[in-house]
Amino acid sequence: MTSSLRVKWCILRTSIEERLVYRADFAFATLVRFLPIVTQVFLWGAIYQTTGPRDPKLINGYSYGDMVAYSLLVMVGRAFSSMPGLTTGIARDIRDGAIKKFLVQPIDLLDYLFWHRVAHKLVYYAVAFLPFAFVFWLCRNYLHGWPDLTMFIGWLISLILAFLVGFLIESLMGLIAFWFLEVSSLVFVYMLVSYFLSGHMLPLDWLPPPYGDAIRLLPFKYLAFVPAAILLEKYNYQQLAVELAQGFAWVVVLLLLNRVALARGIKRYSAFGG
Amino acid sequence: MAIIEVSQLAKHYRVYRKNAGWMASISGLFHREYNTVRAVKEVGFQIEKGEMVAFLGPNGAGKTTTLKLLSGLIYPTSGTATVLGYIPWQRSNAYRKRFSLVMGQKNQLWWDLPAQESFILHREIYDIDHDAFQRRLDELTELLEVRQLVKQPVRELSLGERMRMELIASLLHSPEVLLLDEPTIGLDVVSQRKVQGFLRHYQSEQQMTVLLTSHYMKDVEALCRRAIIINEGEIKHDGPLAEIVDRFSSVKQIHLQFAGTEIPADIDRYGKVLEQIPPRVKLEVPRQDIPKILAALLDRYCIEDVGVQDRPLEDAMAEFFSRKNSDQ
């Protein structure tokens, strides 16, 4: 293994160990994250209830069953793309000076943050797998079944894109703290906006043109909508390829923005906090 | 050969200036006034290989800013500096593998994990050979008396134990230059002495080049022969530590122990009484009057013990800085 790979592996391993320290808090936080899906299932039940939840009535092409399936699949996408504490953690480290340790050591800050986050996600999936499987089993009648192999691979790639886009957007917001120090309002606005623009609130194909078209050009759809839409068979093979290529392009753009922000941020960094 | 070379180095900060009160807060939303703080003003010095130099000055003098510049944390406004031949703020990995920065109250260890996990991560980051790593770790944990603590979560260690672990983490890659910013701040006397003793031993053994800032003159006296004094961003003294007391203090102290249980009532005619715990007294007298005053005291009183000492470095520095401030 090369030196660089050994460093990544060591960060990953150490971060996993760190994540396992507070067992009770971690288990509780993991389980609580399933509560919103329960409220969403009931909410959509109430909306479709005019003629009964199993009625074939459609809203914008989605039956009640489709909406339950969509909500579940969005939850999976968000499990990959949400990055709790990443932006605020970077901003706090910049503000109080803890970021110094990354700047004086021969280590890349973004690389470190990335593998640290991968570790958090791996531990989360390991703990959340069974609850996820149980919820999907309970709602099995609403799901469309397994897609063909191409779509399944496309879905897996879309989950990786969800992780990368989510990570890069939130790390970029954190790096803005080099200029503004305090980014909590920005995080709040981002959470509100991304809840809508990612398709977490409503499927993005419900939005009419030209707004829907414009929103679908943004990177946010990769946080939740695209993975769900792939499993709900909303794309053909050609559309799938276009969506994934566009997602990859966004990853490259966001990575470049992160690199520029980090390089310029360090130049104006005052190393406050002692 | 100079390991650290600094020339005309300056760092200016633009700082938001806000008046008190809520009206000022509101007007600050639309219009802000900024001040330029000249934290370091065109300083220059050289440090040779294996030197251990104290970098002294009051709060806000520019010590930590200079260390931040030398460690590449911040960019200078003007001037040049090289450390081991590298320009620090270019932050090349080759440079970062050859120096260490220890800041007394900043933690580079993983808080929730035992220190050994952080050490292993350092081994990979600095690409340290496994055998050399184990050898150094054994040596450092032995010298700092923390061998039994490396498996204990860092958050459960005392401040002194944590600081010793920080030092180990900083030294595992055998840095050639060590920048120490207040390494004993907040430590109790026992921990301070352990850290001092360790630094003295390890530096002489490894011939590291060390630049140390500290407000504890005991650290400075125990460790350094040369001192650079900085105040208001400018270097005021660069030379042997021993010269500081000579240069900045015109007085000495006479410590007396009288034969009886009392201190003579008129003792204050010989000098300023600094402390008196019968039968002992501590006088401060002008340096040039020492022989005359000593002779008079020995002639007139029955004295059991006598000693003449330089004024503590701490006092000399305090006088120097307060004199500078009142001069302005």
pLDDT tens, residue by residue, B199-221: 998 898 889 999 999 888 888 88
Residues B157, B208 within the same domain: yes
B240 occurs within a structural domain: yes
Give pLDDT, residue B328: 46
B99 occurs within a structural domain: yes
Q: Which residue of A has its CA nearest to B76?
A: A267
B317 occurs within a structural domain: no
- Per-residue pLDDT, averaged over A162-175, amounts to 97
Report the residue from A7, A21, A100 with minimal CB separation from B124: A7
Q: Tell me what percent of the residues of chain A surpass a pLDDT of 70.
A: 96
Residue where a domain terminates, one of B246, B266, B300: B246
So what's the ipTM on this one?
0.82
pLDDT at A18 > cutoff 50: yes
Residues B286, B214 within the same domain: no
Residue where a domain terminates, one of B246, B266, B297: B246
Give pLDDT, residue A273: 53
Residues B62, B205 within the same domain: yes
B33 occurs within a structural domain: no
- Token couple for A6: 């050994």
Contact A270 B72 (CB under 8 A): no
- Per-residue pLDDT, averaged over A168-174, amounts to 97
Report the residue from B71, B75, B110 with minimal CB separation from A267: B75
Within 3-62 of A, beta carbons closer than 8 Å to B belong to: 3, 6-7, 9-11, 14, 17-18, 21-22
Chain B residues in contact with A270 by the CB 8 A cut-off are: 13, 74
Residues B156, B50 within the same domain: yes
Residues B234, B272 within the same domain: no
Residues B166, B291 within the same domain: no
Residues B277, B167 within the same domain: no
Give pLDDT, residue B44: 93
Residues B52, B129 within the same domain: yes
Chain A residues in contact with B108 by the CB 8 A cut-off are: 101, 105
Q: For the domain that residue B274 is a member of, what is the CATH number?
A: 3.30.70
- CA of B83 to nearest chain A CA: how many angstroms apart? 14
Give pLDDT, residue B59: 80
Report the residue from A10, A11, A270 with minimal CB separation from B74: A270
pLDDT tens across A228-253, in order?
999 998 999 999 999 999 999 999 99
Say which residue, A257 or A136, is predicted with more confidence: A257
B34 occurs within a structural domain: no
Residues B242, B255 within the same domain: no
Ranked by mean pLDDT, the top range of A91-95, A131-135, B84-88 is: B84-88
B197 occurs within a structural domain: yes
B185 occurs within a structural domain: yes
Q: Looking at the DSSP assignment, which residues form a beta bridge with residue B14?
A: B36
Where are the strands (E) in B110-240, listed by range? 177-181, 209-213, 226-231, 234-240
- Per-residue pLDDT, averaged over A154-171, amounts to 97
pLDDT class of A258 with cuts at 50, 70, 90: very high
Strand-pair category, B272-277 with B280-286: antiparallel
Look at chain B and report how many structural domains it folds into: 2
Strands across the sheet containing B272-277: B272-277, B280-286, B251-258, B303-310
Strand-pair category, B52-56 with B280-286: unpaired
B327 occurs within a structural domain: no
Helices then strands (H, E): number in chain A? 13, 0
pLDDT tens across A173-193, in order?
999 999 987 888 899 999 999
Give pLDDT, residue A272: 64
Residues B227, B268 within the same domain: no
Give pLDDT, residue B93: 93
Give pLDDT, residue A76: 93
Give pLDDT, residue A73: 93
Give pLDDT, residue B326: 55
Chain B residues in contact with A18 by the CB 8 A cut-off are: 110, 112-113
Q: Is B285 within 8 Å of B293 (Cβ atoms)?
A: yes
Q: For the domain that residue B51 is a member of, what is the CATH number?
A: 3.40.50.300
Residues B261, B215 within the same domain: no
Q: Tell me which residues of chain B have a pLDDT lower than 50.
A: 328
Residues B209, B100 within the same domain: yes
Residue B174 sits at φ, ψ, to 5 deg, of 50, 60
Domain range holding B263? 251-310
pLDDT at A45 > cutoff 50: yes
Contact A269 B73 (CB under 8 A): yes
